[in-house]
Structure 1
Amino acid sequence: MTATHRQWDIVTGVGLTALAVAAARAIATGSADDLVDDPFAAEFVRAVNPPRPLPTEPDGDELWTAMAAYVGLRSRFFDEVVTGSDAPQVVILAAGLDARAYRLDLAGRDVYEVDQPQVLEFKQRVLDDLGARPRCRRHAVAADLRDDWPAALEQAGFDPARPAVWLAEGLLPYLPAMAEEELFDLVHARSAPGSRIGVEQVPGGDVAGMDRSMRTMNAAERIGVDMDGLLATEPRRDPVAWLREQGWGVTTELADELADRYGCRLPAFLADTMAKAELVRADLSA
């Protein structure tokens, strides 16, 4: 990792956003929609003392209710991206507190979790304290996505000659435009025929608009995450169009369309924001 890159732990910077997402996933786990079942999410939140207390069950707050609804929907979509493929490898980019290796039946598959070392160390400590055991061959890959993470991935056992499922969930808004392009270039170069990628893109790829919406809702203060400088708001290439140009077969659904398919509903005040987020599945033909 280069000296110019700032690292973070689970209660600072992007690490704290991962903790907030875990809180939302914990709330979603207890909801009637039954979109996700993550018994580890609340345990991650309880294991730390964040700058502001985070809920792990419904508390009536409109913003947390909305976050939980969207995160539950997103989690279900990415779960299906993984379980709907028989690719032997799964790579979770910026894995954060993702517990798919423990909560999904991925027997016989290799799951690689790529993230900052302190985030992975925290997650491992909590899971070990719980006596949790992965339901796959799990590999923690301590690497910064702004550095040579493919080398670390391959050192952990990843084989670019074998098909893989790649997950880019809750990731792209934090990457500068050039870093996002490089990420997709690197993933494509390491995707054997039969590979799949799942991507979440903010509405229209407009990260600046997402940032304005969050500020209007005073989301940073209400959630307890300082968003200043975290999001990369410059214009960026459309990954959906680029994937198609590279030969991937792409399916895109808006979040509110996905909610209809799952038989649930996103809160009305998300209608012009995250309800229009694009959830993308792309497959590379064998």
Structure 2
Amino acid sequence: MTTQEPARPGLPAAEQSSPAHSGRPAAERLSPVSRTAVAVARVRAYESAQPDPLFTDPYALAFVTAAGHPPRPGGAPLGPFAQRLLLHGILRTRHYDDRLLAVGARQVVLLAAGLDTRAHRLPWPDGTRLFELDLPPVLAFKDRILAERGARPQCERITLPADLTDPGWPELLRSAGFDPGQPAAWLVEGLLVYLDADQAAQLLTTVGELSAPGSRLLVEKGRDTSRTPVEEGLTEMTALWRGGLGPGTADWLDTHGWTTRFTALDELAATHGRLLPPGVAGGEPSGFLEAVRS
């Protein structure tokens, strides 16, 4: 089991290392969008601590604590939208865990992998190669915490520091051993909403070009960000949302060489015996897409 460290490509100015912060902890050098990975790790830490969790992430709390954002004991009650996001994050994690293992692809690519630890916590089949792409400060922070805890991946894990808005990332992936001629499983978890429509379309076009027939793509349905509720404690995150392809994500994929299947959030909640928080039922159906490359 190996982790490759290729040369790092160009980065947006906000993410570049400089002498001014070369001595600062890696977590402090994360951009606002990258710091949302810590918020997602908080969700996984929360669920992992429950009596009957849908998954267990043994490293999530370590990420959150190292970033200086430990869970608040006895914190204020969450508003309806925050409750929805919490449930969404929990069910999304379990759903993608299940689907990635069920697909059985020997090439798995996590785009904007953030603080994802699926390489370490899922029972991958022998021969699985898992590629993680994200900005250098994110991967540096994650790898430091994992190394401190002696974490060992359950597959061949290959980390690729890359900017997904840079057109050079596909060549970086191929150079690391990814074979576009073989089916792959792509996970685009919680990313598209932070891109504008053109960026999202370009990213998914590139994924399609790299995908052999039978490849799978896991991505969220998309949301109408113009209708995002305003709730205390969430505006720092929701202000970064640019919408991606919005609710039309499935239509876009279906007209660009994919066949999509939708799994609704309420369906997953019922399957796992979870109650939908107030304000979720009756709204625009949210959930997850699984697309097969035609």
Please tell me the TM-score bracket, short chain as reference. Answer: 0.7 to 0.9
Change (3 A) 1:39 1:235: closer
Percent identity, aligned pairs only, is 37
Match of residue 278 from structure 2: 268
Cα offset for 1:16? 1.4
Q: 1:166 aligns with which of 157, 163, 186?
A: 186
Q: Mind listing any 5+ residue stretches in structure 2 that lack a counterpart?
A: 1-8, 17-25
Q: SS at 1:269's partner residue?
A: coil
Q: 1:24 aligns with which of 43, 50, 60?
A: 43
CA contact (8 A) 1:207 1:234 kept: no
Change (3 A) 1:236 1:266: closer
Q: SS at 1:31's partner residue?
A: coil
Does 1:231 find its partner at 2:229?
A: no
Match of residue 182 from structure 1: 202
Change (3 A) 1:142 1:272: farther
Cα offset for 1:68? 3.4
Cα offset for 1:108? 1.8
Match of residue 224 from structure 2: 206
Q: 2:252 aligns with which of 225, 242, 248?
A: 242
Does 1:151 find its partner at 2:171?
A: yes
Q: 1:78 aligns with which of 96, 112, 121?
A: 96
Match of residue 280 from structure 1: 289
Tell me which amino acid in the other structure corresponds to 2:234: A
Q: How many Å separate the matches in 2 of 1:255 and 1:272?
A: 12
Does 1:55 find its partner at 2:71?
A: yes
Change (3 A) 1:252 1:167: same
CA contact (8 A) 1:58 1:65 kept: no
Q: 1:253 aligns with which of 255, 263, 273?
A: 263
Tell me which amino acid in the other structure corresponds to 2:96: F
When normalised by structure 1's length, the TM-score is 0.85
Match of residue 96 from structure 1: 114
Measured against aligned partners, the alpha-carbon deviations of 1:125-155 in whole angstroms (never above 9, x if no partner) come to: 0000000000000010100110021122112
Does 1:119 find its partner at 2:135?
A: no
Aligned-CA RMSD value: 2.5
CA contact (8 A) 1:26 1:56 kept: no
Aligned residues: 271
When normalised by structure 2's length, the TM-score is 0.83
Q: How many Å separate the matches in 1 of 2:217 and 2:194?
A: 18
Match of residue 212 from structure 2: 192
Q: How many Å separate the matches in 2 of 1:153 and 1:177?
A: 24
Does 1:6 find its partner at 2:21?
A: no
Q: SS at 1:238's partner residue?
A: helix
Match of residue 217 from structure 1: 231
Runs of 4+ displaced beyond 6 Å: none
Cα offset for 1:69? 2.4
Match of residue 158 from structure 2: 139
Cα offset for 1:186? 0.4
Q: How many Å separate the matches in 1 of 2:246 and 2:288?
A: 17
Change (3 A) 1:206 1:133: same
Does 1:39 find its partner at 2:58?
A: yes
Q: How many Å separate the matches in 1 of 2:266 and 2:74?
A: 21
Report which stretch shifted further, 258-267 or 74-83: 258-267
Q: How many Å separate the matches in 1 of 2:134 and 2:288?
A: 22
Q: How many Å separate the matches in 1 of 2:245 and 2:209?
A: 24
